[in-house]
Structure 1
Amino acid sequence: MLQAFLRCVRRFPWFANVTLYGCLFAGGDLVHQRLSRRDEMDWNQTRNVAVVAFSFHGNFSFFWMRFLERRFPGNSAGMVMRKLFLDQAAAAPLATTVFYTGVSFLEGKEDILEDWRNKFLNTYKTGLMYWPFMQFLNFALMPPYIRTVFTGCCAFVWAIFLCFSRQTGDGTAGAALAWLFPPKEESAEEMVDSKLKEAATAKPVQ
C-alpha cells in the first residue's frame, strides 16, 4: 500500500501532493467541528476552508518546497537551517494571512481583514512553537517529492487550531488548550457533598 502510494506521488507529484494536502487541511475543519460538539455540521464552512486549502495552500506548499530545495539543495545542517529560516520568515506569515482573509472573503464578510488584524500576530507566534520543529523533520528527513505530503499531515493538526481560532479563539495556544481541555464542572451532588464536608469539619463558634 505504501509503495503504491509512493509510486503515485513520484509519477504525479503535483496532483498527489496538492490533493492530499487539501483533503487533510479540510479534514482539520471537520475535526474542529466535531470537537466543538455542534448539533449540525456547517458544510459551507468546510467548503470554504477546502477552497482556500486546494487553491492556495496546497499549491503554494508544493512549489515553495521545490524552490527551497533548488535554492538550498541537500539536508546538511546549514541547508536545513536556511530553508527553515526562510519558511518561517516568509511562507508562514503569508499562509496565515491567506487563510484568515481567504475564508472571510468566501464568507462574504464586509471587512475581510478583521480576523487577520485581531488574530494574525497571536497565530504566528503560536505557529513558531509548532512549525519549526515539524519543518525541521521535513527538511532533514523527508525526500523532496513527499515534503508537501508531510506538510499536509502537519497542517491537519494546524487546521484544527486555525479553524478554532477563527471561530471562537484568539490565536493563542492557551485558548486552544482551554477549549480542548475545559475545567471539570462540579455536578450538583458533588457541590452538596462538598458543602456538607465543609460544614462537618468547620469548628464551632465559641
Structure 2
Amino acid sequence: MAGWWRALLRTARRHPWPTNVLLYGALFSTGDALQQRLSGGPADWQQTRCVATVTMTFHANFIYVWQRLLEHAFPGRTPRAILTKLLYDQGVGMPVVCSAFYVGMSILQGKDDIFLDLKQKFWNTYKSGLMYWPFVQLTNFILVPLQWRTAYSGLFALLWATFICYSQQSGDGTFRSAYTVLRPQEANAVERPPET
C-alpha cells in the first residue's frame, strides 16, 4: 500500500493535471454508483457513464483551472485572500459547475428540453451546495497545497455526487428530497397517513 501511495505522489508531481482530473472523475462517478445503490434499484451503468463523461470532460478540468486562477488572482493564505477565493468560488464557480452538470446530463440523456432540470432544480441545488461546499473549500484553501486541490475537492464530491445525481434523476435539488433515499420507511410514513 505504501508503494502505491508513493507512486501516486510521484505521478501527481510529474503530471498534476491528468492525475487530479482522473481522481476527481473517479470519485464523482463512484458517488453516482453509491447513489444508485442507496436507491435500491439495479445498477444503471449508462447513467454512471454519463456522469463520468460530464465530470471528466468539464467538471474536473474546470475545477483544476479554476483553482489555479483563484490562487493566481488572490495568492496566499491570509484571511482576506482565503475569504476572497471562497466568495468567488461559491458565487461564480459553483453556479457554473452546477449548471454544467444539469445541462450536460440532459444532453447526454437525450432530453428534449436540455434546460428543464436546470430551471427546475438549480436554485435548490445551489442553496443546498451553500450548506456544504464553503466548509470544504475553506479547508481546501487553508490546508491543501495547490497541486492537490482538485483531488481534495473530488474526495468531497463523492458525497456531493450521491446528492446531485439523485436530484438530477428524481429529486428536487434539496437535501430533504435526498434524505428520503436514506430513510425510505420514514418517507413512506410521512406520505401515507396511519390507517385507522
Alignment partner, residue 115 of structure 1: 117
| Code of the aligned partner of 2:176 | G
Alignment partner, residue 53 of structure 1: 55
In the alignment, the residues of structure 2 paired with residue 27 and residue 158 of structure 1 have an alpha-carbon distance, to the nearest angstrom, of: 11
Pairing of 1:24-173 with structure 2 (within 5 A): 24-38=27-41, 40-173=42-175
Larger Rg: 1
In the alignment, the residues of structure 2 paired with residue 167 and residue 113 of structure 1 have an alpha-carbon distance, to the nearest angstrom, of: 14
Provide the secondary structure at the position in 2 that maps to 1:111: coil
Can you list the C-alpha shifts for 1:109-159, whole angstroms capped at 9, x where unaligned? Answer: 110001011000000000000000000000011010100000111111111
Using the size of structure 1 for normalisation, the TM-score is: 0.87
| Code of the aligned partner of 2:172 | D
Provide the secondary structure at the position in 2 that maps to 1:104: helix
| Code of the aligned partner of 1:171 | G
In the alignment, the residues of structure 1 paired with residue 12 and residue 78 of structure 2 have an alpha-carbon distance, to the nearest angstrom, of: 24
| Code of the aligned partner of 2:30 | G
Alignment partner, residue 15 of structure 2: 12
For structure 2, list consecutive stretches of 5 or more residues without a partner in the other structure: none
For structure 1, list consecutive stretches of 5 or more residues without a partner in the other structure: 196-206
Aligned residues: 188
Kindly report the root-mean-square deviation, in angstroms, between the aligned alpha carbons of the 2 structures.
1.7
In the alignment, the residues of structure 1 paired with residue 127 and residue 50 of structure 2 have an alpha-carbon distance, to the nearest angstrom, of: 24
| Code of the aligned partner of 1:166 | Q
In the alignment, the residues of structure 1 paired with residue 75 and residue 6 of structure 2 have an alpha-carbon distance, to the nearest angstrom, of: 25
Contact 2:38/2:181 (CA < 8 Å) preserved in 1?
no
In the alignment, the residues of structure 1 paired with residue 154 and residue 182 of structure 2 have an alpha-carbon distance, to the nearest angstrom, of: 22
TM-superposed deviation, 1:75? 1.1
Can you list the C-alpha shifts for 1:21-50, whole angstroms capped at 9, x where unaligned? Answer: 111111111001100111x21111111000
Using the size of structure 2 for normalisation, the TM-score is: 0.91
Can you list the C-alpha shifts for 1:154-205, whole angstroms capped at 9, x where unaligned? Answer: 111111100110111100111112221234579xxxx9xxx9xxxxxxxxxx
| Code of the aligned partner of 1:22 | G
Provide the secondary structure at the position in 1 that maps to 2:184: coil
Provide the secondary structure at the position in 1 that maps to 2:76: coil
